[in-house]
A and B are shown apart, each in its own frame.
Chain A
Amino acid sequence: MLVDGERIAACLALAVQYAERDITTIEGVGQPGSPHPLQEAFVREDGFQCGFCTSGQICSALGMLAEHRTGMPSVVTPHLADDDIALTDAEIKERMSGNLCRCGAYDGIVGAIRSVADHEVAR
């Protein structure tokens, strides 16, 4: 889930520690009838099979894209001191590694995130 826009692992969070903070779960992303562009991309790019992991994947990806926009490096970033870090497939995979998908929809997940990230860059 997102706390003030930052992704965290809800399973290890004590709710009381996040009182008064701005919490976003998948229920706050998009609306029935008008899904978020990333939700549309998950449908279009085959980003899920059973759907169990999907809410976490989408919230995590939103947090990940925001991190990337602030210049956060990852462990596969070639030069950590660089200002502009290209969001390659290798970067997306590394940055999304905290979200496991038992169905193995990884290629579709990366594709969905890639298409939204490319669209953001193009804008």
Chain B
Amino acid sequence: MKAFGYVSAPDLAGALEAVAAGARPLGGGTNLVDLMRADVERPDTLVDITSLPLTGVEELAGGGLRIGATVRNSHLAADRLVRSRYPVLAQALLAGASGQLRNMATVGGNLLQRTRCPYLRDHAAACNKREPGSGCAAIEGVHRGTAVLGTSEHCIAAHPSDMAVALLALDAVVEVQSLRGTRRIPLGELHRAPGEAPHVETTLATDELITAVELPPAAVARNSWYRKVRDRASFAFALVSVAAALAVRDGEVVDVRLALGGVATTPWRAREAERVLLGAPATEETFRRAAAAELTSAVARPDNAFKIEMVQRTIAATLRRLATEGGAA
């Protein structure tokens, strides 16, 4: 592990200055410290942002929610408003990592966590994320956990976050600050598909700090569910996951949100499926047709092809649950 400096940011202005001078923000450290140990991340200086006053979960006028960037994953999952209005988010958070890790992990850090593709940490193998231009060992190698949507010939690594999948279904907006000012990025525009440059994973500039995530009000979210399928029932990353919210009136889908995890290179909003569902009868046939429509562009490798069928079944099962028994609240 490379030697590094550490500063605890006294206030937001100090944090923005440190980041502008090249320091890396440190949240809970559960991903960054791990990757520094593995010599994948090699920052010169860390700026600890966990003492900043970004720890609030506040109700917005109109019914939305503003979540500070350093709110711990466990605290967000336990929040009363999240549990009643956006249960899919609480469930996604609680499906991630372990109790200990959720007490450390922050919202900003969770959004920016890096892939669990084993080649990212394997210095003996090629990885375009770790070493741009070196190639992608996963394409011909171990790739059971990799993505089938949003891939390129340069990278097929899956995005690992559960929380981000639920936030994407909820139309979250990310507030970002730098010494240059403040901007708001729809979550769907934060993560970049690998394309020609797999190492450029987000649209953030290096001097920018995530300061908050905002959720617009969404009545449909009260009936929502996060379904995660994994190799063991707990403390494991998703093979596939589905965040869904559904409103049915007189047997017809009148509102729907659908996002997928484990199957794509970024958190994946299932817009094709939503299009099929909206206005259609809330039946098994519709659910399956919608799922199939979303996966038409999937590109499989031999060992991850199973995800295409698995995620379609999981989409249908999650929608069926919401149409019959109701959501997680």
Contact = CB atoms under 8 A, between A and B. Distances in A.
Interface of A: 6-9, 12-14, 16-17, 60, 63-64, 67, 70-75, 77, 79-81, 93-100
Contacts of A60: 99-100
Contacts, number: 89
Given A80-B329, A98-B99, 10 more contacts: A7-B100, A9-B100, A60-B99, A75-B94, A79-B328, A79-B329, A80-B91, A97-B234, A98-B97, A100-B235
Contacts of A73: 77-78, 83, 90, 94
B87 A81 contact: yes
Interface residues of B, number: 33
Interface stretch (B28-36, B177-185, B210-218, B271-279): B28-36
Nearest to B6: A16
A17 B50 CA distance: 9
B74 A72 contact: yes
A97 B78 CA distance: 18
Most chain A C-beta atoms within 10 Å of own C-beta, residue among B8, B48, B234: B234
B87 A7 contact: no
Contacts of A12: 28-30, 33-34, 101, 104
A7 B183 CA distance: 35
B103 interface: yes
Contacts of B77: 72-73
Contact of A75 (B46, B91, B104): B91
Contact of B99 (A17, A67, A71, A100): A67
Contacts of A98: 97-101, 235
Interface of B: 6, 8, 26, 28-30, 33-34, 46, 48, 50, 74, 77-78, 83-84, 87, 90-91, 94-95, 97-101, 103-104, 233-235, 328-329
Nearest to A59: B100
Contact of B95 (A6, A14, A75, A93): A75
A71 B97 contact: no
A95 B84 CA distance: 21
B74 A67 contact: yes
Contact of A13 (B74, B78, B104): B104
B78 to A, nearest CB: 5
Contacts of B101: 8-9, 12, 98
A96 B104 CA distance: 16
11 contacts: A8-B101, A8-B103, A9-B101, A12-B104, A73-B77, A80-B91, A81-B84, A81-B329, A93-B234, A95-B99, A98-B98
Contacts of A97: 98-99, 233-235
A72 B93 CA distance: 12
A70 B104 contact: no
Contacts of B235: 97-98, 100
B234 A94 contact: yes
Contacts of A6: 103
Contacts of B50: 17
A88 to B, nearest CB: 14
B40 to A, nearest CB: 14
B97 A80 contact: no
Contacts of A7: 99-100, 103
Contact of A74 (B46, B48, B94, B97): B94
Nearest to A64: B99
A72 B98 contact: no
Contacts of B328: 79-80
Contacts of B83: 73, 80-81
Contacts of A8: 100-101, 103-104
A77 B329 CA distance: 10
Contacts of B6: 14, 16-17
Contacts of B103: 6-8, 63
